[in-house]
Chains A and B, each alone.
Chain A
Amino acid sequence: MARNDYVTIGNTTYYADNDGRLMSVIQYHNIEWAGQPNNFFCGPTSGYMILRNVGAWTSARGDGLSIENVATYMETRRYGFTSLQDRKFQQGMNDWLGDSIYTTIHTPSYAQVRSAVLSSYETGYATAVDAMERRGGPHYNGHNNGTFAHIMVVDGYNSQTDAVYLVDPGAGVLWPSGSQHFWYSSLQAFTTIYLQTEYYSDGKEHIGIYYAVK
């Protein structure tokens, strides 16, 4: 391998510096995309993709892996959404895994998000983002010009450029021009724009990240 060049080994892309030392710069979970089956199952579908990626084919209670079953664990149908306020994504993942793997951070700092993403390549459990877009502000990946929140999975991260590689369960299903996997140029910008500002003034928590602590 030449110096000042990239090489990919397994799930990690390395960069060889002038001295030939390898630095891991792009890491992936290699999440296989799944489309959400309806308009409010972005949370269960994201959870399903993460669980499938780690081979959690059966829950701790013996249920087979499906989006619908994950939704049941997250109580998504009962609520009509996946509640960050009540930590239902976290609860559903942990109940499925039979261990307190996932936790939630409401309106996280960039440092918290970056740390969560980087540590996910050690735990093996991908991080999910619960992001809010607002009408009159920027949107991404072909999303419509409305106001809503959406849950996606963080697949890859380039620690050199800060670019983040996301898996969007609504791509094609809800937004025809969206890509199932897409790069967003800056995790810091994504965090600032979509994860840190609560636009609803109802006193509840709606946006943040879900990540594995072990």
Chain B
Amino acid sequence: MSRHFGKSGHSHRWVVIATVVCVALAVVAYVLHGMFGQGEGASSSNQDGTTSGTATVSTEPGDTDGLSLPFSIEGVPSDATILDVSEGTETSALEGEWTFGGDYTKIGSFPIDSDTVFGSCTDNPDDLTSYVAALIMLNGATPLEERQIGETVYEPQDGTGSAQGAVWRSSVLSLSPTTGADDWRLQAWSAATGTVDTLGTARDLNGENDTPLLDGEIVPTENESNAFFASWYLNQGTWTPTVISYALNEGTSTPTLIDTGSYPAATDGGVIYAGSPAATESTTLYKALHTWDTSSSSTVFTVVSEGNDWGISGVWAYGDRRAVCLSSDKAADGCYIGFWDGSFSTNITWLHMASPSVVASMNESWLVWGSGSQADNAGMYAYNLESNAIEYLGSAIGYSRPVIASENNTVLVPESDGQGAVIFHVGTLS
């Protein structure tokens, strides 16, 4: 179902569509409802998919009667409840909603606050080379950089940030079928100085312009001192997925090559990332989660599965929250996202969804996700880490990629019927 909008631009009341499995006993469910609490208006269902009212039904930790993880996590607890997310039916409303886009003049990347979105803009959408990074607001857009000139032009793409600053990636526009090349550039904007620095480029890293595209639509993240990214790194003729970091506020610099891996998520003291890559028939999955504290790396946990067919396909961090997505090489298995505290001493919960991977973002209270441009499962969702509520944000065919702000609960929700330019909705989750 596509996202629907009335004349006022507001949609329906929040309706939660969390389908929760692993129901051993209704009594247990009722009791746990009281224990765990529930977002208002939430509904849930059992393994048969039947609605069971407004309770958040969950298993006791370690319960194996219902849904269980098809892999083991070794090194940290992994015994939390598993919530199975079903397709939504009624789109949740956003507070203070406004829209932009629909004509390729402004393309949203991520929200900063309820009034501002980071993205790109142009006065002439017929000229692909004219886009610049920008702050997009209800009444227009403010470019953050000058228009590029010359033969090599980077298309501003995705990133992360806040009102204080942002880091984002761009990629050289290609005029021809060079599909998987990712000739990237990393830039950083400082609100304090109003300046944009180029941190580094794929050409600087690899000395070539044909750095391949790394799985999973990696976006740069940052903490107070460093930006983190992942790229294929060419070393003595061999391409290796590598986590790298650039010092902020130093202009263009030589990156630190942290480790073999991908999906870096900045933390207050460093970065967590997926390591130990293993190529399967259909993709590359990572068998361990690592942490780097600016001087050395260590393993947080490893993923073990029968057939060795599960691995990490996404990592997110904010404050004292951590989230890791695990996928298999079989799309029909869907994926699981595990949540932990910052020290990985407590496994908060697991989500299971039908899509084999997700495009997601996280702040202190919410994880927001979609399936990108996968053929199925175009739904978009928001999971509240405190209440276990799951909100349905509608669906966007070919563009299922909602994003949440880092420092507030503003979300950027795309509207797409799969036909043309995406319309972006900005509003606040509550």
Please list the residues of chain A having a beta carbon within 8 angstroms of any beta carbon in chain B: 36, 38-40, 42-43, 79-84, 130, 134-151, 170-180, 182-184, 189, 192-193, 199-202, 204, 206
Contact = CB atoms under 8 A, between A and B. Distances in A.
Interface string B164-204: 00000001011111111110000000000000000000000
B373 A174 contact: no
A156 B372 CA distance: 24
Contact of B284 (A138, A140, A176): A176
Contacts of B235: none
B425 to A, nearest CB: 14
21 contacts: A36-B179, A40-B177, A81-B175, A83-B176, A130-B177, A137-B399, A138-B418, A139-B372, A140-B375, A142-B373, A147-B174, A150-B179, A172-B282, A176-B282, A177-B283, A177-B356, A183-B375, A200-B128, A200-B173, A201-B126, A201-B128
Contacts of B128: 134, 147, 199-201
Most buried by A among B101, B171, B213: B213
Given A136-B104, A172-B282, A177-B371, A39 B178 contact: yes
B173 A147 contact: yes
A137 B179 contact: no
Contacts of B175: 81, 200, 202, 204, 206
B399 A135 contact: no
B397 A177 contact: no
Given A136-B104, A136-B107, A145-B217, A177 B374 contact: yes
Nearest to A207: B177
A172 B107 CA distance: 27
Given A43-B177, A176-B216, A204-B175, 7 more contacts: A39-B180, A141-B374, A143-B373, A148-B179, A174-B179, A176-B215, A182-B375
Interface residues of B, number: 51
Interface in B353-394: 355-357, 371-375
A159 to B, nearest CB: 21
A38 B180 contact: yes
Interface string B121-142: 0000011100000000000000
Given A136-B101, A176-B313, A176-B357, A148 B375 contact: no
Nearest to B124: A201
Contact of A145 (B210, B281, B373): B373
A43 B180 CA distance: 12
B422 to A, nearest CB: 6
Nearest to B357: A177
A202 B128 CA distance: 10
Interface in B191-249: 210, 212-213, 215-217
A184 B398 CA distance: 11
B421 interface: yes
Contact of A135 (B107, B174, B177, B374): B107
Contact of A189 (B171, B401, B419): B419
List the 4 closest pairs (A to B, CB-CB), nearest first.
Answer: A138-B398, A39-B180, A176-B283, A81-B176
Contacts of A82: 176-177
Nearest to A144: B217
Nearest to A186: B418
A175 B356 CA distance: 12
Interface string B4-48: 000000000000000000000000000000000000000000000
B213 A39 contact: yes
B178 A148 contact: yes
Contact of A137 (B104, B171, B327): B104
B259 interface: no
B62 interface: no
Nearest to A43: B177
Nearest to A151: B177
A184 B376 CA distance: 11
Given A176-B357, A177-B372, A200-B175, A193 B418 contact: yes
B337 to A, nearest CB: 15
Given A142-B372, A145-B399, A199-B128, A136 B179 contact: no
Nearest to B105: A136
A174 B398 contact: no
A146 B282 CA distance: 21
Contacts of B177: 40, 42-43, 81-82, 130, 148-151
A139 B371 CA distance: 11
Contacts of B213: 39, 144, 174
B283 A139 contact: no
Interface string B391-430: 0000001110100000000000000101111100000000
A81 B178 contact: yes
B157 A138 contact: no
A172 B313 CA distance: 13
B84 interface: no
A77 to B, nearest CB: 11
Contacts of B215: 175-176
A180 to B, nearest CB: 8
A182 B155 CA distance: 28
B171 A146 contact: yes
B158 interface: yes
B356 A172 contact: no
B331 interface: yes
